[in-house]
Amino acid sequence: MDVLKPREVSLVEFTSTVCKAGGVEEVDVIVREVDAMTETIKLTLLGSSIRFDDVTKTLKEQGMAIRGIDEITVARVKKA
C-alpha cells in the first residue's frame, strides 16, 4: 500500500502497532518520499488472514491515509 504518514509519527512505533492488527504477522516499510510535514511510505503486510478493516482503523487512528493499493496476493491454503 502507498500510505501518507505524518512525519511526527515514529516508524518504529507505527510498525509495532500495525503488526498487532488482526492477522498481520509481518510489516515492511520503505520511505519513498519526504516533505516538510509528511512521508509517503510503501507498506507491505504479510499474514495468513489479514483483517483489512483492522489495518485501516489502525492507520486512521495514527493520522495516516491510504493513497493506493499496488498489489494483492492471495493463496489458498490446504487443510491437513
The pTM (predicted TM-score) of the whole model is: 0.84
pLDDT of residue 48: 83
Closest CA to 43 of 76, 23, 65: 65
Which tens digits make up the pLDDT trace of 21-77?
Answer: 999 999 999 999 999 999 999 999 999 889 999 999 999 999 999 999 988 888 887
Statement: residue 80 has pLDDT above 80: no
C-alpha span between 5 and 60 (Å, rounded) = 10
Q: Where are the domains of the chain?
A: 2-68
Return the CATH superfamily for domain 2-68.
Answer: MTH889-like domain (3.30.70.1340)
Higher pLDDT, 44 or 79: 44
Q: Which residues pair with 5 in a beta bridge?
A: 39
C-alpha to C-alpha distance for 43 and 10, rounded to whole angstroms: 14
5-25 pLDDT tens trace: 999 999 999 999 999 999 999
Q: Which of 17, 20, 21, 13 is nearest to 53 (CA)?
A: 21
Residue 65: which of 38, 28, 27 has the closest Cα?
38
